[in-house]
Chains A and B, each alone.
Chain A
């Protein structure tokens, strides 16, 4: 059921990307609501439609919801106009979320590519709030051009944090680019991690495929590599059929899959 939620905050991350804070209007619904890191909500714009959007706020404070939305098309285009005080619709949470329990006590490698990957920002924040529960944190991020590097200040902030390394690369750098040049996998030469590390990534599927290959070389098992997939979603409850990835329903048994589960499908096109 769609639950009304009031927008309590709006922050512009960069042109076309906004983070909205929201609060479920109904007291009982709000108190009963809980979620895990990496789950998503179906967000509803009245009369227009509903789209899957990850929850980036902390599961420790489930009454406070935050969503970062990149304006892509018809529905998100309307969401761009959401203001503080507006009432919007929330249905969720759905999906399995990141394996944050399994990651506890281990070194964590987080890899993203392409335009800002909201599910990963929530994950990084989650780990920072519980920093002593996790080992070394490695954040690898690849962009096409320096302009695509969103959240530049956050990367700088993370870079300064103890036991944390940030690796950035751009495919098509400009003169100001101070980091590595090339695709994400170029960053793997610099990455030294024990085979017991756990990896979580999101971004274009080709990037994730190459990354998984490179991680294998470092002795990290396919079981320890987790990726968040994106598919069309219209119901989020495993009934509409749109999110199917061969035998998987991405909404129901994903969006996070171990590489071992999907590696056979990763090399195939048109699945």
Chain B
């Protein structure tokens, strides 16, 4: 890891201004509608300063935090996902011509984005989405257009939400890769490190000095304390085999009896990539757009073909979701589909907790 630098609090203001000047649209965790979400920030006070979140299964509240603390809120419903994998976008346009039609690709409007305050789990999730959209057999030009110039300023977690379980998924609480700059918030300013050439260049422009030994120690202590205090965990041992073997475990039915199949978990999940592709004709019939929209394996049509629905029951769909996340994903992409951000637990209206579901299946297997 690169050298630890000291960033006084006012330098964060400079960083935001500098990124705007460099041509980025700068986004950070902003409080809105009772939660934080990435939104435009022009100055530090736009961020959710002096606030903290309370999270538990099925519940999220924003409240007052420590005075002066800038990154006190762990996360909100939305990760970076919607910024790179758009919830809805046009891929192609087909225009009718005298004989037939002509198809053209629609390039996305993709200004370079800079994110301030990205958590380690969300960086890990971004790497998972990169693997899917950029490093598979077919690569996605729309995702790439949005992703290629992104500048990422990570924040190491000094505090976790009770729904977080990044430690067991080995994705946090410290950002170790995938960022341009990382910050660890202290009482007085930050310890910062660069993780890329672009990050190093920005750090140089900010004219930061080396961090003092005591600062480095206290930054590490905060991160270690966060890791040690994490309440939730998911034992990843042998997961593909366990979930594949337990396809008929009665727990699936049990979870399904609580699940509303509302799709919330898949919408807030930073790695879920399922989408629908639909052709929408304009009213005059001369133009048609191919649009892709987020879809969910909890929707009834997801596994429907003419005359057959392969996953008609909620228990089929809940099993599909969890087995895909934690098992099939590893076979498909060499990485887990879960980074332990806890969003699906918090934003489930009935508080279904995947860590508890897996633990129950592990504790009561029906197959040896």
Task: List A residues at the B interface (Cβ < 8 Å).
Answer: 1-4, 6, 25, 44, 46-50, 72-73, 87, 89, 230-232, 234-235, 237-242, 244, 246-247, 249, 252, 264, 268-271
Report how far A173 CA is from B187 CA in the complex, Å: 84
Report how far A186 CA is from B273 CA in the complex, Å: 44
Instruction: Given A238-B136, A241-B273, answer yes or no on A89-B324 (Cβ-Cβ < 8 Å).
Output: no
Residue of A at shortest CB range from B328?
A247
Query: Contact: A232 with B304, CB < 8 Å?
Result: yes
Report how far A126 CA is from B313 CA in the complex, Å: 40
Query: Contact: A239 with B247, CB < 8 Å?
Result: no
Query: Contact: A49 with B319, CB < 8 Å?
Result: no
Task: List B residues at the A interface (Cβ < 8 Å).
Answer: 92, 94, 96, 99-103, 105, 132-133, 136-138, 140, 240, 244, 247-248, 273-279, 281, 285, 288, 292, 295, 297, 301-307, 310-313, 315-316, 319-320, 323-324, 327-328, 331-332
Q: List A contacts of B311 (CB < 8 A).
A: 270-271
Other-chain residue from B103, B303, B331 in contact with A1 (beta carbon distance below 8 A)? B103
Other-chain residue from A230, A232, A247, A269 in contact with B331 (beta carbon distance below 8 A)? A247
Other-chain residue from B94, B274, B276, B304 in contact with A89 (beta carbon distance below 8 A)? B94
Report how far A24 CA is from B295 CA in the complex, Å: 32
Query: Contact: A246 with B101, CB < 8 Å?
Result: no
Residue of B at shortest CB range from A42?
B277
Instruction: Tell me how far the C-beta of A182 lies from the nearest C-beta in chain B, rounded to whole angstroms.
Output: 23
Name the 9 nearest CB pairs between A and B, nearest first. A87-B100, A270-B316, A47-B281, A241-B274, A247-B331, A237-B138, A47-B288, A72-B306, A247-B328
Instruction: Given A2-B103, A47-B288, A246-B244, answer yes or no on A240-B275 (Cβ-Cβ < 8 Å).
Output: yes
Report how far A46 CA is from B92 CA in the complex, Å: 12
How many residue pairs, one in A and one in B, have C-beta atoms under 8 Å apart? Answer: 112
Q: List B contacts of A44 (CB < 8 A).
A: 94, 279
Query: Contact: B303 with A234, CB < 8 Å?
Result: no
User: What are 16 A-B pairs at a CB distance below 8 A?
Assistant: A1-B92, A25-B100, A44-B279, A47-B279, A72-B306, A87-B100, A232-B301, A232-B305, A234-B276, A235-B275, A239-B140, A240-B274, A241-B275, A241-B297, A242-B274, A244-B297
Instruction: Tell me how far the C-beta of A26 lies from the nearest C-beta in chain B, rounded to whole angstroms.
Output: 11
Report how far A237 CA is from B140 CA in the complex, Å: 10
Instruction: Given A4-B103, A231-B305, A270-B310, answer yes or no on A46-B295 (Cβ-Cβ < 8 Å).
Output: no
Instruction: Given A231-B310, A242-B302, answer yes or no on A268-B277 (Cβ-Cβ < 8 Å).
Output: no
Instruction: Given A73-B306, A89-B94, answer yes or no on A240-B279 (Cβ-Cβ < 8 Å).
Output: no
Other-chain residue from A47, A239, A252 in contact with B94 (beta carbon distance below 8 A)? A47
Q: List B contacts of A3 (CB < 8 A).
A: 103
Residue of B at shortest CB range from A243?
B303
Report how far A216 CA is from B341 CA in the complex, Å: 47
Instruction: Tell me how far the C-beta of A181 lies from the nearest C-beta in chain B, rounded to whole angstroms.
Output: 25
Report how far A73 CA is from B137 CA in the complex, Å: 31
Report how far A264 CA is from B315 CA in the complex, Å: 19
**7 more A-B contacts (CB under 8 A) besides A235-B277, A270-B310?**
A48-B279, A48-B281, A73-B306, A232-B301, A238-B138, A239-B136, A240-B276
Instruction: Tell me how far the C-beta of A41 lies from the nearest C-beta in chain B, rounded to whole angstroms.
Output: 15
Query: Contact: B133 with A239, CB < 8 Å?
Result: yes
Query: Contact: A244 with B328, CB < 8 Å?
Result: yes
Instruction: Tell me how far the C-beta of B138 lies from the nearest C-beta in chain A, rounded to whole angstroms.
Output: 4
Report how far A173 CA is from B140 CA in the complex, Å: 51
Report how far A268 CA is from B292 CA in the complex, Å: 31
Q: List A contacts of B136 (CB < 8 A).
A: 238-239
Instruction: Tell me how far the C-beta of B323 lies from the nearest C-beta in chain A, rounded to whole angstroms.
Output: 7
Query: Contact: B303 with A231, CB < 8 Å?
Result: yes
Instruction: Tell me how far the C-beta of A68 lies from the nearest C-beta in chain B, rounded to whole angstroms.
Output: 15
Query: Contact: B137 with A252, CB < 8 Å?
Result: yes
Q: List A contacts of B310 (CB < 8 A).
A: 231, 270-271
Instruction: Given A48-B279, A231-B303, A231-B310, answer yes or no on A244-B99 (Cβ-Cβ < 8 Å).
Output: no
Residue of B at shortest CB range from A70?
B306
Q: List A contacts of B328 (CB < 8 A).
A: 244, 246-247
Q: List B contacts of A49 (CB < 8 A).
A: 278-279
Query: Contact: B303 with A242, CB < 8 Å?
Result: yes
Other-chain residue from B132, B240, B307 in contact with A239 (beta carbon distance below 8 A)? B132
Query: Contact: B92 with A2, CB < 8 Å?
Result: yes
Report how far A25 CA is from B303 CA in the complex, Å: 34
Q: List B contacts of A242 (CB < 8 A).
A: 274, 295, 302-303
Query: Contact: B279 with A50, CB < 8 Å?
Result: yes
Query: Contact: A232 with B248, CB < 8 Å?
Result: no
Report how far A242 CA is from B306 CA in the complex, Å: 14
Q: List A contacts of B297 (CB < 8 A).
A: 241, 244
